[in-house]
């Protein structure tokens, strides 16, 4: 287990004019010390090294509460201020699956080091490593607060990319011009709504994490960077709410179309019933087979009855058209 941990862990030490990337050959080499002239970014792939994490905490005399936190593999979104460091738990979304999924990320941040623990190996932060190595921008001149800002910016971008990708997949099927009052279309709308509810829940959790970081009071740790991230998260939530309203409008339109069709059917049945009720009444009278019905022996009785029926039908149709019932 220790060998696997060392294989999956690397460290980048950087300052304004220096950049060094190393790996570890022994657990004792994992030293998280607050150096005045360099900033260290330690990254570990895999959250199954709980006992080794505890060893690193003890070896570096970090806050004992981390031992309890590392006992659990799963953490909800949280920000905990400890002794001279911050423990952060959040999630990043997977963009390679149609079904929305996520993986956990943990961060232990102090003024001199940032330890990131990713549940699975990924390239979400490679662009940050490239900027550090090439000395692009101001990242080398800043400390862990700015590094954490860039990491969280990558996570926010991941949420936005995942949202837009899923939106494109469903846009063709749920296009406003393709609205159909069928069970299949209604099922697609409800499925998309459930996806958006789950996505909104995840985004709200990320925004809460950013808001909590804005209130952190840690020495040599600037929180001004996180206001921009909060704005991006709010914009994403607004987009989700807007799409939810559109889907709700489509559901209401489907119900309206179904109700209109039902009304048309009922109107047709009502008109036919009104027309044939008097005809049935007349036919019933002359079908009683009474002996003394004067018209039965009248030469033109049959044609008169047919004429009356036709007249009743024409009058009914004229009346319905005058009322604009059809």
Q: Does 291 have pLDDT greater than 70?
A: no
**Residue where a domain stops, chosen among 256, 289, 310:** 256
User: What was the pLDDT predicted at 282?
Assistant: 73
Same domain, 113 and 61: yes
Same domain, 72 and 131: yes
Same domain, 249 and 267: no
Cα-Cα-Cα-Cα dihedral sign, residues 253, 254, 257, 260:
negative
Q: Which residues constitute the domain of residue 284?
A: 261-322
Report pTM. 0.79
Long-range contacts of 268-274 (CB under 8 A, 24+ apart): 268/326, 271/316, 271/320, 271/325, 271/326, 274/316, 274/320
> 146-167: per-residue pLDDT in tens?
999 999 999 999 999 888 888 8
Same domain, 139 and 40: yes
Q: Are strands 113-118 and 39-45 parallel, antiparallel or unpaired?
A: parallel
The residue that leads in pLDDT, 294 or 11, is 11
Q: What average pLDDT score do residues 270-296 get?
A: 71
Same domain, 281 and 200: no
Same domain, 22 and 161: yes
- Mean pLDDT value across the chain: 85
**Residue where a domain stops, chosen among 232, 256, 280:** 256
Same domain, 187 and 295: no
Same domain, 91 and 201: yes
**Residue where a domain stops, chosen among 217, 240, 256:** 256
Q: What average pLDDT score do residues 200-225 get?
A: 88
Same domain, 88 and 139: yes
Same domain, 311 and 241: no
User: What was the pLDDT predicted at 240?
Assistant: 93
Q: How confident is the model at residue 326 (pLDDT cuts 50, 70, 90)?
A: low
User: What was the pLDDT predicted at 107?
Assistant: 95
* CATH number where 283 lies: 1.20.58.340
Look at the chain and report how many structural domains it folds into: 2
> 280-290: per-residue pLDDT in tens?
877 777 666 55
Residue 186 tokens, joined: 């209604």
Q: Are strands 85-93 and 78-82 parallel, antiparallel or unpaired?
A: antiparallel
User: What was the pLDDT predicted at 1?
Assistant: 81
Q: What average pLDDT score do residues 107-128 get?
A: 90
Same domain, 201 and 237: yes
Evaluate whether 121 touches 8 at the Cβ level (below 8 Å): yes
* CATH number where 22 lies: 3.30.460.20
Q: How confident is the model at residue 277 (pLDDT cuts 50, 70, 90)?
A: confident
Q: How confident is the model at residue 234 (pLDDT cuts 50, 70, 90)?
A: very high
- Under DSSP, the state recorded for 295 is G
Same domain, 222 and 271: no
For a pLDDT cut of 70, what percent of the chain falls above it?
A: 90
């Amino acid at each position: 287990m220790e060998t696997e941990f060392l294989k999956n862990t690397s460290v980048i030490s950087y300052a304004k004019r220096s950049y060094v990337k190393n790996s570890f050959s022994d657990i004792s080499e994992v030293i998280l010390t607050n150096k005045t002239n360099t900033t260290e970014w330690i990254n570990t792939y895999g959250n199954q090294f709980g006992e080794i994490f505890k060893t690193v905490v003890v070896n570096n005399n970090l806050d004992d509460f981390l031992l309890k936190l590392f006992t659990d593999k799963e953490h909800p979104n949280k920000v905990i201020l400890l002794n001279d460091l911050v423990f952060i738990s959040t999630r990043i979304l997977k963009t390679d699956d149609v079904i929305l999924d996520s993986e956990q990320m943990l961060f232990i941040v102090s003024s001199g080091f940032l330890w990131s623990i990713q549940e699975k190996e990924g390239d979400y932060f490679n662009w940050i490593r490239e900027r550090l190595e090439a000395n692009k921008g101001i990242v080398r001149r800043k400390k862990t607060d700015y590094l954490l800002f860039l990491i969280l910016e990558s996570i926010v971008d991941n949420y936005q990319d995942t949202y837009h990708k899923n939106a494109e997949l469903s846009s063709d099927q749920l296009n406003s011009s393709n609205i159909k009052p069928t069970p299949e279309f209604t099922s697609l709308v409800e499925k998309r709504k459930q996806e958006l509810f789950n996505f909104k829940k995840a985004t709200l959790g990320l925004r809460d994490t950013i808001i909590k970081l804005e209130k952190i009071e840690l020495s040599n740790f600037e929180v001004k960077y996180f206001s921009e991230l909060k704005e991006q998260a709010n914009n994403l939530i607004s987009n989700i709410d807007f799409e939810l309203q559109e889907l709700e409008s489509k559901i209401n339109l489907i119900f309206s179309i179904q109700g209109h069709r039902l009304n048309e059917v009922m109107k047709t049945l009502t008109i036919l019933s009104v027309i044939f009720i008097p005809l049935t009444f007349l036919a019933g009278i002359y079908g009683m087979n009474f002996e003394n019905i004067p018209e039965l022996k009248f030469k033109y009785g049959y044609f008169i009855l047919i004429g009356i029926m036709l007249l009743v039908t024409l009058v009914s149709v004229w009346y319905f058209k005058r009322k604009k019932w059809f």
